Amino acid sequence: MSDLSDLPPQASWTDAAGCTHAGAVLHRVQGFDVVDCAHCGFRHVLPLPTPQALAEVYAHDYYRTEKPLYIERYLEDRDWWECVYTERYEWLEAALPATRRRLLDVGSGPGLFLASGRDRGWSVRGIEPSTQAARHSREQLGLDVVNGFLDADSAPTLGRHDVVHLGEVLEHLSDPAAMLRLAHDLLAPDGLLVLVVPNDDNPVQRIVHRHLGVAPWWVAPPHHLNYFDAASLAALVSRCGYTVEHQETTFPIDLFLLMGHHYIGDDAKGRQAHGWRKTLERNLHGAGAEGRQLLAGMRRAFAGLGMGREILLYARRSGD
């Protein structure tokens, strides 16, 4: 019989709606516990910040204090992002009739994804909480971007869309299921949801943490509240009224840590590792169909092993 002292500690917390979130504590960082929550079906921090507290952070502080170079770096990487976004739009264009090209980007950031769609003939709109990023989108790129949060008040003003895109949004929210239900209401019948979230606690990260003694750098409260893998993300999406059509993962940049390139906490080394990844993907894109097929096969293989830095999921609104 196992010694109870060997079992992980448990934590529980009850939210304002009376729901109890409980599970084994996986990590303790900066006063937060990360639990494998039985109620939610995915890992998240306890306690969860209020929506009001999050709104204040992301409206004014996130890009200025947490990621002061984000917009600058994003624009530096524009040619690589164009490759990434081209693939995403090509998938959507193959999955929808040519007459359905209305897209809403939730958390649209500095606007390059929207600009890429506009250049392909899509009708695009964004909603972005950061005043800095929304201003850049409107003033520098001429995009239709609302400065605010997608919530029950703003959703009715945004219209219906064929695609709702949430790139690296769900990990920041205290209630990701509520966001997915709002997105469902914004989609036209048979519309498509696109999600990108970090693929956290993946096999490479666990090996680096447990066997190389590196602290779990991917655990980053209060900005990252939720921690998904492919199975927990797909289950959440399905519960919220969608049918998952495709999942893949992006390049596992964590592999560089296993190669001895310790970029955690070192901005210059981090940019170097990201540069290697960009060069690889740009070169494969530049090789035409053969290179792109190889890149797609690599992503499928990585996803099959649970590897990859982010999860990319496409799902269709169901119940129509």
Single pTM value for the model: 0.93
Mean pLDDT of the region 202-227? 95
Exposure on the CB side of residue 83, measured as CA atoms within 13 A:
20
Q: Are 23 and 64 part of one and the same domain?
A: no
Q: Are 41 and 120 part of one and the same domain?
A: no
User: CB count, 10 Å around CB of 249?
Assistant: 25
Q: Are 248 and 300 part of one and the same domain?
A: yes
Q: Which two tokens stand for residue 21?
A: 């979130």
**Largest separation between any pair of C-alpha atoms in the chain:** 66
How much is the pLDDT for 69? 72
> In this model, does residue 238 exceed pLDDT 90?
yes
When pLDDT is cut at 50, 70 and 90, the band that residue 72 belongs to is confident
| Three-point CA angle 273, 274, 277, nearest 5° | 90
CB 137 within 8 A of CB 110: yes
Q: Are 133 and 224 part of one and the same domain?
A: yes
Cα–Cα distances in Å, from 10 out to 39, 45, 222?
14, 13, 20
Q: Are 173 and 67 part of one and the same domain?
A: yes
- Could you report the per-residue pLDDT of 169-213, keeping only the tens digit for each? 999 999 999 999 999 999 999 999 999 999 999 999 999 999 999
Q: Are 36 and 114 part of one and the same domain?
A: no
CA-CA-CA-CA torsion for 224, 230, 236, 237, nearest 10 degrees? 110
Tell me how many domains the chain contains.
2
> In this model, does residue 227 exceed pLDDT 60?
yes
Q: Are 311 and 194 part of one and the same domain?
A: yes
Q: Are 231 and 246 part of one and the same domain?
A: yes
C-alpha 114/C-alpha 101 separation (Å) is: 12
> In this model, does residue 62 exceed pLDDT 60?
no
Q: Are 20 and 68 part of one and the same domain?
A: no
C-alpha 31/C-alpha 120 separation (Å) is: 46
- Could you report the per-residue pLDDT of 80-111, keeping only the tens digit for each? 999 999 999 999 999 999 999 999 999 999 99
Q: Are 20 and 155 part of one and the same domain?
A: no
**Element at 162 (helix H, strand E):** strand 161-167
Cα–Cα distances in Å, from 305 out to 179, 203, 295?
29, 8, 16
Percentage with pLDDT > 70 across the chain: 93
C-alpha distance across the termini of the chain, in Å = 51
How much is the pLDDT for 2? 40
How much is the pLDDT for 4? 46
C-alpha 181/C-alpha 151 separation (Å) is: 10
Containing domain of residue 5, as a range? 1-48
- Could you report the per-residue pLDDT of 250-293, keeping only the tens digit for each? 999 999 999 999 999 999 999 999 999 999 999 999 999 999 99
Q: Are 187 and 200 part of one and the same domain?
A: yes
How much is the pLDDT for 127? 97
CA-CA-CA-CA torsion for 307, 310, 312, 313, nearest 10 degrees? 80
Mean pLDDT of the region 40-65? 76
CB 188 within 8 A of CB 100: yes
The closest alpha carbon to 40, from 165, 196, 174, belongs to: 174
C-alpha 26/C-alpha 238 separation (Å) is: 25
Q: Are 142 and 177 part of one and the same domain?
A: yes
Helical segments of 213-266, H only: 230-239, 255-258
When pLDDT is cut at 50, 70 and 90, the band that residue 1 belongs to is very low
- Could you report the per-residue pLDDT of 108-161, keeping only the tens digit for each? 999 999 999 999 999 999 999 988 899 999 999 999 999 999 999 999 999 999
What CATH number has the domain bearing residue 216?
3.40.50.150
C-alpha 128/C-alpha 133 separation (Å) is: 7
